[in-house]
Amino acid sequence: MEERSDTQLVAAVVGGDTAAFTALHERYRARLQSYLRGRMELSADAAEDVVQDVFEALAANDYRALRQFAGKSAFYTYLCAIAIRRVYRLHRRQPQIADPPEEGFPEPAVDETSRNVTAADVRRAVQELPEEFRAPLMLYHFGGMEYREIADLLQLPMNTVATRICRAKKRLREALST
C-alpha cells in the first residue's frame, strides 16, 4: 500500500479518520522533538511536553487547527510554527527555557579602543532583547534557518523578519558597546 501524503492524511483526519491522525503523530513526533531539543534548546522532557501540547492542540475542537492548515507550506513547517509559538508562550512564563548555546558565540574580535566583550556578554545581551527581535535572530543564527522559513514559522512577512533581525543586531551592537 502506498504511503499517503501529509495533505491526504490531514484531509482524512478532517473527514473523521482517527487512524490518519495517529499516522501524522507517528510520522512527526520524533522529528518535532528532535527539532525542539536541537534548535530550540529544550530539555527532553520539555520537548516531549511541547510535542504533546502541539498534537493536543491539533485535535482540539474537532481538529480545528488541522482544518486551518491551508497546505501553502509543508505540514512539518506548520507543526513547527505551532510548536514555536507554544515554546515562546512557555518562555514568557519561564524566562530561562531557551538560552543561546554556549558554543554558539565565538569570542568577538575587538580593537584596542573598544572594551573587551565576552561570549557571556553576548549571551546576556541576546537574552535581554525583546522576544520579537530575539526569536528571528535565534532562528537565523542558531537555527540555521533562511528568512523565508522564519517568516513561515512565525507567520510574519519576510520583510518583517529581515527588519527584526537587523534591529536585533543593531540593539546588540549598542548594548555591547557601552
Cell numbers found for residue 163: 527588519
The burial of 66, by beta-carbon neighbours within 10 Å (0-12 exposed, 13-18 middle, 19 or more buried), is given as buried
The pLDDT, as a whole number, for residue 111 is 46
CATH code, 102-177: 1.10.10.10
Q: Which CATH architecture has domain 6-93?
A: Orthogonal Bundle (1.10)
Using a cut of 0.75, tell me whether the model's pTM lies above it.
no
The pLDDT, as a whole number, for residue 117 is 79
The pLDDT, as a whole number, for residue 95 is 41
Cell numbers found for residue 17: 479518520
For residues 118 and 64, what is the distance between their CA atoms, to the nearest angstrom? 47
Sketch the domain layout of the chain as residue ranges.
6-93, 102-177
The pLDDT, as a whole number, for residue 178 is 72
The pLDDT, as a whole number, for residue 40 is 72
The pLDDT, as a whole number, for residue 97 is 35
**Mind listing the pLDDT tens digit of every residue in the chain (178 residues)?**
578 999 999 999 999 999 999 999 999 999 999 888 877 778 899 889 999 999 999 988 888 888 888 777 788 888 887 888 788 777 665 444 344 455 554 544 444 444 577 878 887 888 888 888 888 888 787 666 788 888 877 888 999 999 999 999 999 999 988 7
For residues 125 and 119, what is the distance between their CA atoms, to the nearest angstrom? 10
Whose CA is closest to 119, among 176, 165, 45, 43? 176
- Computed from CA positions of residues 107, 108, 109, 112, in that sequence, does the dihedral angle turn out positive or negative? negative
The pLDDT, as a whole number, for residue 91 is 64
Asked whether the beta carbons of 23 and 4 are under 8 A apart, the reply is: yes
Asked whether the beta carbons of 83 and 54 are under 8 A apart, the reply is: yes
**Any alpha helices (H) in 39-114, and if so which ranges?**
44-68, 75-93
The pLDDT, as a whole number, for residue 68 is 84
